[in-house]
């Protein structure tokens, strides 16, 4: 056995900060050449970086910029008092001007496309920009209040609600999360004592007055009487099974998008930014250009957002098949789309359900997979269905780039790519890629 590798946590290095990397940090190197992923820094800065994770000889170390020696022109004083080294882990780019945040996200997308799919922005039909959501361009110092769903962690010592520190179970208590939507802030979750709870998720639906809190109690704890500043429905997560049970009020919230109301039960996926669902539906429909009579697939369909948008456009002679793994989401999708007799929703994993359906052809496909992407086998199957166009909605640019490379193997090229800043202040970004057969008419 070799000698024990020593931890480097707490070690400080003065470093030149290099490019941004995927995950909300920038790349630097220690004088010994070890790679450092530095948070709270910006490209081109000279900073003192303090190691937060890693040991000698590790492939990389994680660090926080604890002193800025030469600041970037893109740096600002973080508007949030809870941001900074060792503090709230919810936001990654509070210290960057909003325009710079979007440029950093664009650099990450460009780098992932190049490295994992061998594509330049031009080859991907992308103008290289990340668009802010409607209404998010605000005067300096103001922060978009976009988070309609906030998962608060509860500090076990004080019962106060807060947010987890970066890569930690520790809780940063907060009096006011700046990015929480107004409807969430109004509930007053941050001002209440949550002793006995592990976490409290607060949801403020878009386009309805539905407000909900989902409580996860610590083992053996009793549920508190929930008295908030606004009427809410209350649900409880079973600590043993993870199942969600209604305590009072509706077990779902109603979200409006694309002119329709969507029932979303607790645990079901819905986009967090209030403009996200409409922004993505518009981008997908502009890219796919559905025609009356088309047969369309909506894979990883959640509660049926894109399936409904497609059903509207393909008409009575068309058909839509949605596939979704979550049982409650499937019930919601069937409820939400009950007015469209030509829509069918199948429950199960795309990888196993799609082959079972016996479908050999489709005109259009939407896929909106989780962060891990769709993967080689599913992409190969989708590529064999002869779709005129495919819309890939991606919350992770690395997974998108990997899957685009598989689509190229399957004979598809990227026609256009658009990127949207639907998660301001964080490193997350949403992309919509529109694909078509590489050889037209094939």
Ligand X SMILES: C[S@@+](CC[C@H](N)C(=O)[O-])C[C@H]1O[C@@H](n2cnc3c(N)ncnc32)[C@H](O)[C@@H]1O
Segment near ligand X (CB under 6 A), from 43-51, 90-98, 234-242, 265-273? 265-273
Pick 314 or 350: Cβ nearer ligand X: 350
For residue 253, the minimal CB distance to ligand X (Å) is 13
Give the number of C-alpha atoms closer than 13 A to the C-alpha of residue 36, restricted to the C-beta side.
30
Distance separating alpha carbons of residues 36 and 166, to the nearest angstrom: 16
Distance separating alpha carbons of residues 338 and 191, to the nearest angstrom: 41
Is residue 269 within the footprint of ligand X (CB under 6 A)? yes
Distance separating alpha carbons of residues 303 and 264, to the nearest angstrom: 7
Segment near ligand X (CB under 6 A), from 111-119, 143-151, 266-274, 285-293? 266-274
For residue 395, the minimal CB distance to ligand X (Å) is 6
Pick 94 or 378: Cβ nearer ligand X: 378
For residue 407, the minimal CB distance to ligand X (Å) is 18
Residue that has been written with the tokens 């799609």 in this structure: 354
Count of residues engaged in binding ligand X, rule: CB under 6 A: 19
- 300 labelled ligand-binding: yes
- 324 labelled ligand-binding: yes
Q: Which of 26, 80, 301, 395 is catalytic?
A: 395
Residue that has been written with the tokens 């882990």 in this structure: 89
Distance separating alpha carbons of residues 222 and 215, to the nearest angstrom: 11
Distance separating alpha carbons of residues 92 and 426, to the nearest angstrom: 5
Q: Report the site for ligand X in 387-416 (rule: CB under 6 A).
A: 395
Residue nearest to ligand X (CB): 302
CB atoms under 10 Å from CB of 36, counted, come to 24
Whether 68 and 77 have beta carbons less than 8 Å apart is answered as no
For residue 280, the minimal CB distance to ligand X (Å) is 7
301 carries an active-site annotation: no
Distance separating alpha carbons of residues 199 and 185, to the nearest angstrom: 16
For residue 398, the minimal CB distance to ligand X (Å) is 15
Q: What is the dihedral of CA 74, 76, 81, 85, to 10 degrees?
A: 50
For residue 306, the minimal CB distance to ligand X (Å) is 6
State both tokens at 294.
Answer: 């088309």
CA-closest candidate to residue 198, choices 229, 164, 167: 164
Is residue 343 within the footprint of ligand X (CB under 6 A)? no
Pick 91 or 307: Cβ nearer ligand X: 307
- 271 labelled ligand-binding: yes
Identify the residue among 243, 259, 370, 386 touching ligand X (CB under 6 A). Answer: 370
Identify the residue among 287, 326, 373, 437 touching ligand X (CB under 6 A). Answer: 326
Distance separating alpha carbons of residues 112 and 118, to the nearest angstrom: 9
Is residue 116 within the footprint of ligand X (CB under 6 A)? no
Helix and strand totals (H; E) in the chain:
8, 23
CA-closest candidate to residue 136, choices 79, 91, 171, 98: 98
Is residue 350 within the footprint of ligand X (CB under 6 A)? yes
Pick 217 or 373: Cβ nearer ligand X: 373
CB atoms under 10 Å from CB of 329, counted, come to 25
Segment near ligand X (CB under 6 A), from 36-44, 212-220, 301-309, 381-389? 301-309
Element (DSSP H or E) covering residue 282? helix 276-288
Is residue 329 within the footprint of ligand X (CB under 6 A)? yes
Catalytic residues: 395
Binding-site residues for S-adenosyl-L-methionine: 271, 300, 324, 368
Residues contributing to the site for ligand X (CB under 6 A): 269-271, 300-302, 305-306, 323-326, 329, 349-351, 368, 370, 395
């Amino acid at each position: 056995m070799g000698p024990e590798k020593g931890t480097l946590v707490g070690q400080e290095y003065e470093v030149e900060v290099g490019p941004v990397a995927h995950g909300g940090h920038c790349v630097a190197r220690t004088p010994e050449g070890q790679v450092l992923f530095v948070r709270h820094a910006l490209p081109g800065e000279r900073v003192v970086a303090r190691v937060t994770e890693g040991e000698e000889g590790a492939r990389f170390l994680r660090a926080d910029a604890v002193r800025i020696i030469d600041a970037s022109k893109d740096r600002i004083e973080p508007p949030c008092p809870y941001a900074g080294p060792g503090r709230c882990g919810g936001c990654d780019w509070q210290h960057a001007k909003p325009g710079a945040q979007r440029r950093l996200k664009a650099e990450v997308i460009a780098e992932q496309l190049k490295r994992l799919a061998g594509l330049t922005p031009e080859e991907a039909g992308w103008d290289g920009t990340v668009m802010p959501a409607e209404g998010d361009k605000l005067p300096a110092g103001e922060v978009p209040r976009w988070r309609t769903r906030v998962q608060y962690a509860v500090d076990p010592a004080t019962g106060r609600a807060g947010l987890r520190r970066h890569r930690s179970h520790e809780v940063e208590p907060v009096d006011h999360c700046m990015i929480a939507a107004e409807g969430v802030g109004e509930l007053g979750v941050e001002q209440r004592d949550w002793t006995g709870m592990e976490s409290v998720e607060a949801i403020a639906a878009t386009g309805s007055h539905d407000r909900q809190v989902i409580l996860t109690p610590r083992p053996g704890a009793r549920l508190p009487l929930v008295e908030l500043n606004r009427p809410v429905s209350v649900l409880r997560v079973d600590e043993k099974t993870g199942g969600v049970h209604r305590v009072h009020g509706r077990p779902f919230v109603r979200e409006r998008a694309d002119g329709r109301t969507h029932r979303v039960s607790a645990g079901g996926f819905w986009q967090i930014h209030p403009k996200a669902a409409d922004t993505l539906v518009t981008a997908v429909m502009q890219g796919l250009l559905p025609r009356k009579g088309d047969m369309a697939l909506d894979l990883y369909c959640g509660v049926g957002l894109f399936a409904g948008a497609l059903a509207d456009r393909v008409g009575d002679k068309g058909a839509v098949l949605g596939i979704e793994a979550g049982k409650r989401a499937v019930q919601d999708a069937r409820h939400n789309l009950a007015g469209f007799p030509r829509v069918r929703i199948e429950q199960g994993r795309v990888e196993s359900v799609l082959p079972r359906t016996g479908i050999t052809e489709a005109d259009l496909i939407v896929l909106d997979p989780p962060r891990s992407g769709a993967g080689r086998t599913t992409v190969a199957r989708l590529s064999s269905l002869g779709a005129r166009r495919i819309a890939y909605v991606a919350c992770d640019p690395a997974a998108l780039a990997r899957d685009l490379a598989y689509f190229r193997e399957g004979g598809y090229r990227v026609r256009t790519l658009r990127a949207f800043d639907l998660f301001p202040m964080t490193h997350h970004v949403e992309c919509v890629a529109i694909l078509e057969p590489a050889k037209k008419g094939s």
